[in-house]
């Protein structure tokens, strides 16, 4: 945004210094173009700030057993060999991932 503002400021300064109508018109055209550019930049900035204000969607929390999750993942593995899972049961509260084809949900 600094470049359009610099051109606008310099153009208005040069218009004040010149007595040449043609040169003043050229400076005015540049000011108009840079003002339109600045307007578009500010619009994009406001759109981005508005999007950032939206409330993020929180993942739903649930209580589940980590060993069950590991068994689910092992059961869905299609590498040709069975995967052995062992461990202790540990209950956690977290956003439980969907194991079965998450790209289709």
Q: How would you write the pLDDT of the chain (105 residues) with one tens digit per residue?
A: 678 888 888 888 888 898 999 999 998 999 989 899 998 999 898 888 887 776 666 777 888 888 988 888 888 876 667 788 889 999 988 886 665 544 444
CB 14 within 8 A of CB 23: yes
Split into its structural domains, the chain has a count of: 2
The rounded radius of gyration (Å) of the Cα atoms in the chain is: 31
Chain centroid offset of residue 43 CA: 16
| Pairwise CA distance, residues 60 & 21, whole Å | 67
User: What is the domain range of residue 10?
Assistant: 2-53
Q: Is the pTM of this model over 0.85?
A: no
Q: Within a domain: residue 7?
A: yes
76 domain residue, yes or no: yes
H/E element, 55: none
């Amino acid at each position: 945004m600094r470049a359009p503002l610099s051109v606008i400021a310099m153009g208005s300064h040069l218009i004040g210094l010149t007595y040449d109508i043609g040169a003043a018109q050229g400076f005015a055209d540049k000011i108009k173009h840079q003002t339109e550019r600045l307007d578009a930049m500010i619009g994009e900035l406001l759109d981005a700030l508005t999007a950032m204000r939206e409330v993020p969607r929180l993942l739903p929390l649930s209580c589940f057993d980590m060993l069950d999750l590991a068994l689910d993942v092992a059961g869905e593995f299609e590498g040709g060999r069975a995967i052995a899972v062992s461990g202790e049961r540990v209950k956690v509260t977290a956003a439980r991932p969907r194991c079965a084809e998450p790209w289709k949900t």
